[in-house]
Amino acid sequence: MGIAILALMAVGVVLMLTRVLPTAFALVLLALGIALLAGAPLSGGKNDILTSVLQTGSAALASTMIAVLLGSWLGTLMDETGIAATLVRKIVEFGGERPSVVALGVFAVSILCGSITGSAPAAMLAGVVGIPAMIAVGVTPVVAGGTVLMGISAGSPLELPVWQFLSDALGAPVGDVKTIMVKLFPMALVVGIAYVLIETRRRGTRHAWAVRLDRPKARVRRGDAPWYALITPLVPIVLALGFAVPIVPSLLVGIVYALVTTTKWGELNGRALRSLYKAFQVAAPPIVLFIAIGMLLAAVKLPGAKSALTPIVSAISPASAVWFVVVFVVLVPLCLFRGPLNVFGLGAGVAGVLVSGGIYPLSAVVGLMASYNQVFSVSDPTSTQTVWAAQYSGVRPEKAMISTLPYTWVVALGGMVLTAVLYL
């Protein structure tokens, strides 16, 4: 039975890789297939398909969906009020004609944007102004796109919706997730800075405008946001990290701060509603994905699936801390191209098996998946932020992967060593 479930998972990976099915659809079909192979009844039982997998599973990540929506709302406000664009312009003005300084500044803004919202919206917030600015001072297009991506990845450990996702998906307390993420952040920050400094010097400068002019023409320059509004991205982070405020209230305070510091009193309601409706469009793709992941997690936690998969996964999972690091670092490429270790796909099911089977401590699984997320969020040429940043820079996503993967692999190595030392 376990072999059949793993074979079905492999089929699901092929369907996602070949883009025969969108990831969310493939995950739902996988959930149904796993439930059937596990012997779950269609309805009427304690662990049936209709209620336990489809109904309960679809809402299992509800807290994550709310956090994603609020993060998207805050990101939309940062775009509409000019906060993100102002941050980038100030950095460019400060950096002058020095490519490394300008790139480091855009990298810093990307961290702030990545800590608020992930995926393509974060790349757009920092990249729409930042990428042309970097290219204009001589940063090569592939490094310009990679700088934005590395910044978003460095901000990912501070992204509150990611905390909520790992907490919901793996059943870990938010406090435990926060502990791991805070320790992972300095590694991502140092490696990101190294990427900017090394790649801007190694590849030299090239004074050519590589951004296609037909893409940004819809962007209209707005006035600069006031200086006190520029700390908006820090507001929810400080509340969550410094004052242990729960994730949703922290994001709500950030939204209110962005509104009141940038909007006239009589326009508050209109801007709040307009940006909220736009946020639904931004948040729709990840929310659909989280619905499917919830179903998949419910399926792999069914008693039949758990008893079938646990012996196999336990047998092939390294027991010692050293082999834990060696094996899972070697397997890093499996989180690319929507592979089986991508936590925003089938990797969530693998993590569910590791947790439900008691193969590793819960905190170790959180650390493992957080480490893989540092690679996926930057280097996967099928992720939306990578595709957007690369194409906006005028290069193919595969080139962005080649440029950034050696660095993100190092971050993953650091995260797994940290995980092994702390939890194994």
Structure confidence by residue, pLDDT tens digits, 350-396:
888 888 778 889 999 999 999 998 998 888 877 778 888 888 888 88
**Least confident segment among 22-26, 89-93, 129-133:** 89-93
247-262 helix and 268-300 helix, angle to the nearest 10 degrees: 160
Please check the confidence at residue 5 and state whether its pLDDT lies above 60. Answer: yes
Q: What average pLDDT score do residues 45-63 get?
A: 88
Residues 27 and 39: their CA atoms lie apart, in Å, by 18
Query: Does this model's pTM top 0.85?
Result: no
> Distances from the Cα of 190 to the Cαs of 165, 205, 301, in angstroms?
25, 23, 38
Please check the confidence at residue 217 and state whether its pLDDT lies above 50. Answer: no
Give the pLDDT of residue 198.
93
Residues 347 and 380: their CA atoms lie apart, in Å, by 14
- Token representation of residue 222: 């707005």
Residue 165 neighbours by CB under 8 Å, 6+ apart: 61, 64, 67, 68, 290
Residue for token pair 């980038």: 88
Q: What average pLDDT score do residues 220-225 get?
A: 64
Q: What is the pLDDT of residues 251-263, one digit of tens each?
A: 999 999 999 999 9
Q: What average pLDDT score do residues 86-109 get?
A: 84
Give the pLDDT of residue 222.
57
Give the pLDDT of residue 334.
83
Give the pLDDT of residue 378.
84
Please check the confidence at residue 219 and state whether its pLDDT lies above 70. Answer: no
Please check the confidence at residue 216 and state whether its pLDDT lies above 90. Answer: no
**Least confident segment among 113-122, 140-149, 180-189, 315-324:** 113-122
Give the pLDDT of residue 218.
44
Give the pLDDT of residue 223.
64
> Distances from the Cα of 135 to the Cαs of 12, 28, 92, 103, 164, in angstroms?
40, 42, 11, 9, 36
Query: Higher model confidence: residue 359 or residue 340?
Result: 359
What backbone phi and psi angles, to 5 degrees, belong to 210? -100, -5
**Least confident segment among 86-90, 154-158, 255-259, 265-269:** 86-90
Give the pLDDT of residue 275.
93
Q: Are 352 and 300 in contact (CB under 8 A)?
A: yes
- Look over the chain and give the mean of its residue pLDDT values, rounded to a whole number: 85
- Convert the chain into a string of H (helix), E (strand) and C (coil): CHHHHHHHHHHHHHHHHCCCCCHHHHHHHHHHHHHHHCCCCCCCCCCCHHHHHHHHHHCCCHHHHHHHHHHHHHHHHHHHCCHHHHHHHHHHHHHCCCHHHHHHHHHHHHHHHHHHCCHHHHHHHHHHHHHHHHHHCCECHHHHHHHHHHHHHHHHHHCHHHHHHHHHHHCCCHHHHHHHHHHHHHHHHHHHHHHHHHHHHHCCECCCCCCCCCCHHHCCCCCCCCHHHHHCCHHHHHHHHHCCCCHHHHHHHHHHHHHHHHCCHHHHHHHHHHHHHHHHHHHHHHHHHHHHHHHHHHHHCCHHHHHHHHHHHHHHCCCCHHHHHHHHHHCHHHHCCCCCCCCCCHHHHHHHHHHHCCCCCHHHHHHHHHHHHHHHHHHCCCCHHHHHHHHHHCCCHHHHHHHHHHHHHHHHHHHHHHHHHHHC
Neighbours of 331 (CB within 10 A): 14
Residues 304 and 81: their CA atoms lie apart, in Å, by 52
Residues 374 and 410: their CA atoms lie apart, in Å, by 10
Residue for token pair 């998949």: 296
Q: What is the dihedral of CA 53, 37, 171, 252, to 10 degrees?
A: -40
- Token representation of residue 365: 């699984």
Please check the confidence at residue 214 and state whether its pLDDT lies above 60. Answer: no
> Distances from the Cα of 332 to the Cαs of 23, 219, 229, 325, 380, in angstroms?
19, 37, 39, 11, 11
Name residue 139's beta-bridge partners: 205
